[in-house]
């Protein structure tokens, strides 16, 4: 049986099924003039059947909500309405805990608007409940700032992702007239939170497909980097002057995205791999006559700090600069000529593989394009070299040994057997072996490169379909794992209950919690087995 990602209607059907099979929570309160301190046995049993692991604690929260006595024009049974919404979610207990915390007090700002969303059955409440059940970090954002909640669901626009152009205009407007780097840091962090929240809603509600979600997450990173570049450039130029190659020719600088950012494939908790490049060491700044060799590392460090420093508003992204020449020991920014010299004289196989993802993300496009054209011959060699596959496979074996040593090999979505990395290595192996010799296009996206390879007969239609479906499933799964935890983890959780919650977030459901968890693992194992079979065929036989 071929496994595939669920469509929006299919995922929605799972949620509707949950609603239809959940007894109306109003019945819990029938015949009770006042709520007793402890839930009646029948109520406790019903709550437990509906997924509330600690009915007594849930009941205690219900009683405290009753004491708030807020006017609720949207629903005559607001608390039973909340319980019913939570019971139909991925994780009833976590959903109700967060909905309880969001439930306003009388003097809360925008109390009526928030209460209307919470207690009135609607797509907005379904989306809010999905966040409260599926992501504690995103729930915390809404709890900390209910303006985010009100703004997100103030109209129906949350059903759709914003186009990149609209995002760009909104961030440009935010940063217009910003007077300091510190002020810009606040705006960048707020922008990222708001847009990631919107993207998460569209993802959980299946409003957009997985490739589009990954691209939009990457767009937000690109735009934040561009905003940081512009603010930091203005700040440094006010002190040192504009960097110039000649009296009339300005110098330029670009931010190069690597890894998932370069491929426009970011996850919700991905860090961003960057390299910084400038055109020449021969330039000087107009005021202080600082050389570009001295100036651009200052700019690179300031951009990195603006993006990655942890403030009271959090950070924008974690930044990883280790892919630059000589890693942490190397210059933080290099000229185009410096990069050329390094890759020509000292470049290693893994660097060629990493550069397949290199993409201009921010800064001067002209300089970025000059950089990618300059390194193209070092990425795509014109000679046929089948030993490339041995190098890639040895790297894969090294990753596998490291996972075993750490005890992390079981259900590691990214690096485990048949995981995302093996799909990427298959694609990159074909690109490096044939790309230069046959003049292939420089395709950074894994799925697009996979489609090109299949169209030209290097994989069978069945193999290409299996790899594509596995990639979509695994990236979708990885996103949900990270959405739930808000840190860069790639492992399916070990506990059955957590696996069942994750399965429901993936649109998978069965009669019991154990069966639901088993269903998720079954899908995972079928996909990874298929990937490993194709990987062995590619790397253990001639291409």
Q: According to the 3-state scheme, what is the secondary structure of 441-469?
A: CCCCCHHHHHHHHHHCCCCCHHHHHHHHH
Tokens linked to 42:
């029948």
Predicted pLDDT at 65? 83
More confident residue, 370 or 409: 370
Q: Above 50 in pLDDT, residue 11? A: no
Question: Are residues 219 and 95 located together in one domain of the fold?
Answer: no
- The CATH number of the domain holding residue 450 is 1.20.120.330
Residue range 136-149, pLDDT digits in tens: 989 998 988 888 88
Asked if residue 215 belongs to a domain, the reply is yes
Question: Are residues 258 and 139 located together in one domain of the fold?
Answer: no
More confident residue, 445 or 30: 445
DSSP alpha helix (H) spans, 88-180: 92-102, 111-119, 123-134, 136-144, 146-152, 164-175
478 CB-near residues (< 8 Å, 6+ apart): 267, 413, 414, 420, 490
Asked if residue 70 belongs to a domain, the reply is yes
Asked if residue 381 belongs to a domain, the reply is no
486 CB-near residues (< 8 Å, 6+ apart): 135, 136, 137, 138, 268, 269
Question: Are residues 400 and 370 located together in one domain of the fold?
Answer: no
Asked if residue 382 belongs to a domain, the reply is no
Question: Are residues 155 and 181 located together in one domain of the fold?
Answer: no
Work out the pLDDT band at 5, boundaries 50, 70, 90: very low
Domain range enclosing 342 = 164-376
Summary count for the chain: helices (H), strands (E): 23, 7
Q: b vs e for 396-427, b when ≥16 Cβ sit within 10 Å of the residue's Cβ?
A: beebbeebeeeeebebbbbbbbbbbbbbbbbb
DSSP alpha helix (H) spans, 356-408: 365-379, 387-406
**Strand, coil or helix: 243:** strand
Question: Are residues 142 and 179 located together in one domain of the fold?
Answer: no
Question: Are residues 180 and 89 located together in one domain of the fold?
Answer: no
- Provide the CA 531 distance to its chain's centre, in angstroms: 23
Q: How far apart are CA 494 and CA 409, in angstroms?
A: 12
Q: What is the mean pLDDT of residues 286-313?
A: 97
Predicted pLDDT at 251? 97
Q: How far apart are CA 148 and CA 196, in angstroms?
A: 12
Residue range 23-57, pLDDT digits in tens: 455 555 555 556 788 888 888 888 888 888 899 99
Q: Is-contact 286 241, C-beta < 8 A?
A: yes
Question: Are residues 27 and 136 located together in one domain of the fold?
Answer: yes
Secondary structure letter of residue 327 according to DSSP: G
Asked if residue 91 belongs to a domain, the reply is yes
Average pLDDT, the chain: 88
- Please state the φ and ψ torsions of residue 178, each to the nearest 5 degrees: -60, 130
Q: Which of 97-111, 114-128, 429-443, 488-502 has the lowest mean pLDDT?
A: 97-111
Predicted pLDDT at 16? 43
DSSP alpha helix (H) spans, 249-386: 259-262, 292-308, 336-345, 349-355, 365-379
Predicted pLDDT at 120? 81
Asked if residue 395 belongs to a domain, the reply is yes
More confident residue, 128 or 80: 128
Asked if residue 234 belongs to a domain, the reply is yes
Secondary structure letter of residue 155 according to DSSP: S
Instruction: Decide: residue 163, CB within 10 A, 0-12 exposed, 13-18 middle, 19+ buried.
Output: exposed
502 CB-near residues (< 8 Å, 6+ apart): 477, 480, 481, 484, 492, 493, 520
Q: What is the mean pLDDT of residues 498-521?
A: 93
The last residue of a domain, from among 159, 177, 209: 159
Give bridge partners of residue 335 from the DSSP assignment.
278
The last residue of a domain, from among 376, 397, 421: 376
Tokens linked to 190:
């707020």
Which sign, positive or negative, has the C-alpha torsion 420, 426, 429, 435? negative
The last residue of a domain, from among 129, 159, 189: 159
Pairing of strands 333-335, 272-278: parallel
Q: How far apart are CA 476 and CA 46, in angstroms?
A: 33
Predicted pLDDT at 3? 41
Q: Above 70 in pLDDT, residue 6? A: no
In this structure, the number of other CB atoms found within 10 A of the CB of residue 32 comes to 11
Instruction: Decide: residue 249, CB within 10 A, 0-12 exposed, 13-18 middle, 19+ buried.
Output: exposed
Q: Percentage of the chain surpassing pLDDT 90?
A: 63
Question: Are residues 391 and 357 located together in one domain of the fold?
Answer: no
Give bridge partners of residue 243 from the DSSP assignment.
285
Q: HSE-up of 153 (CA within 13 Å, CB side)?
A: 22
CA dihedral of residues 279, 217, 441, 535 (deg, nearest 10)? 120
The vertex-456 CA angle with 476 and 216, nearest 5°, equals 30
Secondary structure letter of residue 410 according to DSSP: T
- The CATH number of the domain holding residue 295 is 3.30.460.10
Work out the pLDDT band at 488, boundaries 50, 70, 90: confident
Work out the pLDDT band at 304, boundaries 50, 70, 90: very high
Give bridge partners of residue 255 from the DSSP assignment.
276, 362
Q: Which residue has the tokens 């019971």?
A: 87
Predicted pLDDT at 12? 45
Q: How far apart are CA 289 and CA 7, in angstroms?
A: 59
Predicted pLDDT at 249? 95
Question: Are residues 348 and 412 located together in one domain of the fold?
Answer: no
Work out the pLDDT band at 21, boundaries 50, 70, 90: very low
- Please state the φ and ψ torsions of residue 334, each to the nearest 5 degrees: -130, 155
Predicted pLDDT at 228? 98
In this structure, the number of other CB atoms found within 10 A of the CB of residue 522 comes to 13
Q: Which of 101-105, 215-219, 443-447 has the lowest mean pLDDT?
A: 101-105
- Please state the φ and ψ torsions of residue 487, each to the nearest 5 degrees: -145, 165
Question: Are residues 177 and 152 located together in one domain of the fold?
Answer: no
Q: What is the mean pLDDT of residues 269-279?
A: 96
Contacts 24+ apart (CB under 8 A), 61-69: 61/96, 61/97, 61/100, 62/35, 63/35, 63/37, 64/100, 65/100, 65/103, 66/35, 68/103, 68/105, 68/106
Asked if residue 336 belongs to a domain, the reply is yes
Predicted pLDDT at 335? 97
Work out the pLDDT band at 4, boundaries 50, 70, 90: very low
Tokens linked to 92:
């009833």
Q: Above 90 in pLDDT, residue 427? A: yes
Question: Are residues 252 and 360 located together in one domain of the fold?
Answer: yes
> Of 365, 384, 373, 388, which Cα lies nearest the Cα of 442?
373
Q: Is-contact 167 223, C-beta < 8 A?
A: yes
Question: Are residues 361 and 418 located together in one domain of the fold?
Answer: no
Give bridge partners of residue 59 from the DSSP assignment.
none
Q: What is the mean pLDDT of residues 344-350?
A: 90
Structurally, the chain folds into a number of domains equal to: 3
Q: Which residue has the tokens 């949350």?
A: 158
């Amino acid at each position: 049986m071929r496994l595939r990602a669920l469509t929006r209607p299919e995922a929605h059907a799972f949620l509707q099924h949950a609603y239809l099979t959940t007894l109306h929570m109003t019945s819990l309160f029938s015949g009770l003039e006042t709520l007793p301190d402890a839930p009646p046995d029948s109520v406790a049993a019903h709550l437990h059947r509906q997924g509330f692991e600690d009915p007594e604690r849930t009941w205690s929260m219900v009683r405290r909500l009753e004491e708030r006595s807020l006017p609720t024009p949207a629903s005559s049974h607001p608390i039973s309405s909340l319980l019913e919404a939570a019971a139909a979610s991925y994780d009833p207990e976590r959903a109700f805990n967060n909905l309880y915390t969001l439930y306003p007090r009388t003097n809360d700002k925008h109390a009526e608007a928030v209460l209307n969303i919470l207690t009135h059955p609607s797509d907005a409440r379904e989306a809010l409940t999905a966040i409260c059940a599926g992501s504690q970090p995103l729930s915390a954002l809404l709890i900390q700032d209910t303006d985010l909640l009100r703004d997100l669901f103030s109209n129906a626009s949350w059903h759709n992702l914003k186009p990149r152009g609209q995002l760009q205009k909104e961030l440009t407007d935010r940063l217009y007239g910003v007077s300091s780097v510190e002020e810009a840091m606040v705006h960048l962090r707020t922008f990222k939170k708001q847009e990631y929240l919107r993207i998460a809603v569209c993802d959980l509600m299946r409003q957009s497909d997985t490739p589009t979600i990954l691209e939009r997450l990457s767009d937000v990173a690109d735009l934040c980097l561009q905003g940081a570049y512009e603010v930091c450039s203005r700040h440094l130029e006010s002190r040192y002057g504009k960097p110039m190659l000649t009296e009339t020719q300005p110098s330029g600088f670009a931010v190069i995205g690597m890894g998932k950012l370069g491929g426009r494939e970011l996850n919700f908790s991905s860090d961003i791999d960057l390299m910084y490049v400038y055109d020449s060491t021969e330039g000087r700044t107009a005021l202080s006559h600082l050389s570009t060799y001295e100036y651009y590392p200052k700019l690179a460090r300031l951009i990195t700090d603006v993006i990655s420093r942890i403030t009271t508003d959090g950070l924008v992204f974690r930044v990883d600069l280790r892919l630059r020449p000589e890693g942490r020991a190397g210059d933080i920014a290099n000229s185009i000529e410096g990069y050329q010299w390094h890759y020509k004289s000292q470049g290693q196989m893994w660097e060629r593989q990493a550069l397949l993802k290199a993409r201009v993300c921010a800064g001067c496009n002209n300089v970025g394009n000059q950089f990618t054209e300059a390194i193209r011959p070092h990425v795509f060699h014109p000679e046929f070299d089948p030993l490339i596959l041995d190098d890639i496979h040895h790297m894969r074996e090294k990753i596998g040994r490291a996972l075993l040593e750490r005890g992390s090999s079981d259900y590691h979505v990214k690096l485990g057997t048949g995981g995302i990395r093996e799909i990427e290595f298959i694609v990159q192996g074909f690109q490096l072996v044939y790309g230069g010799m046959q003049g292939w296009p420089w395709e950074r996206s894994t799925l697009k490169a996979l489609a090109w390879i299949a169209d030209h007969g290097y994989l069978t239609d069945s193999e290409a379909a299996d790899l594509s479906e596995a990639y979509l499933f695994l990236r979708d799964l990885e996103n949900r794992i990270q959405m739930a935890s808000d840190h860069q983890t790639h492992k399916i959780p070990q506990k059955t209950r957590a696996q069942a919650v994750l399965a429901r977030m993936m649109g998978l459901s069965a009669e019991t919690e154990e069966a639901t968890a088993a269903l998720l693992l079954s899908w995972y194992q079928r996909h990874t087995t298929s990937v490993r079979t194709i990987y062995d065929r590619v790397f253990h036989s001639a291409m």
